[in-house]
Amino acid sequence: MLRYIYANDLHKFSDLAHSMFVDRADQFKTRLGWDVAVDSSGEERDEYDTLNPLYVIWEQPDGSHGGSMRFLPTTGRVMVNDIFGHLTDGVSICSPFIWECTRFCLSRDASSKVAGALMLGGGEIMRNFSIDHFVGVFDRRMIRIYRAIGSSPDVLGSEGQGRDQINVGLWEFSPGAYDIVAQRSGIAPEISRMWFDRSFGGPTDLPMALSA
C-alpha cells in the first residue's frame, strides 16, 4: 500500500523510514555510483530531506520500504534550481502550481506494480493539492521505466551522454494519463484514492468488490 508522510512525521513510522533511506543508499550510492552521503546507519539523506518534504512510500506487507518519491514545492529551495539550473538555461522554476519530485527509489525486491503505484500517488497529489505539473531531474535509465509506466515527461534540458545523461523533465498528469498508469500498474483508481484518503483523513469507503 501507499503512505503519504511528511518528514516531520517520519518518526511515527521509524522502521519504514529507516528502510527507505537504506534503500536510497543502496540504489543511488551502491548501484548507480552517485556522489551521495551515507551515514553510519547506512542511510542516504541530503539537505532537502530537512525541508519537511512530502514522501510517497510503498509499504511492503512486512512493513518495509518497497519504493518512494520525495516532493517539495518549487516556491522554496529545490534541486532543479539550486543544482541543475544550467539545464534550464538559468531559468528558475518557481510556481505554487509546480512541485519538484526527486529521489525516485525502488527496493531490490519491489514488485512490478510499485513504480506504477508511486506514479499514481503523484497523480493523487496533483489532483488533491491543485498542482499542475511536477518537475524532476532523472538519469537515462529512468526513461525506460517512465515509458513502461505510461507517464513520460517533457524533457526541458539534458547534459552528458549514454548512461551518464542527466535530464530535467516536466510532467503533466492528466486524467487520461492517470487512467493509463492505473491500467498498466493493475491498481484500481478507487484503491489509489483510498490510500491517499487514509493518509490525509478523508473518506475511505470502497465498493464491496474492491474492499474485499
Can you give the pLDDT at residue 212?
28
**134 Cβ contact list (under 8 Å, min separation 6):** 71, 98, 99, 100, 101, 122, 126, 153, 170, 171, 173
pTM: 0.90
Looking at residue 11, its pLDDT comes to 97
**DSSP 8-state symbol, 42:** S
Q: pLDDT at position 38, please? A: 97
CATH number of 2-200: 3.40.630.30
Q: Where are the domains of the chain?
A: 2-200
pLDDT by residue, tens only, the chain of 212 residues: 999 999 999 999 999 999 999 999 999 999 988 999 999 999 999 999 999 999 999 999 999 999 999 999 999 999 999 999 999 999 999 999 999 999 999 999 998 789 999 999 999 999 999 999 999 998 877 888 888 877 778 889 989 887 778 899 999 877 788 888 888 889 999 999 999 999 998 654 444 333 32
Q: pLDDT digit string (tens) for 119-171? A: 999 999 999 999 999 999 988 778 888 888 777 788 899 898 877 788 999 99
Residue type, 98: I
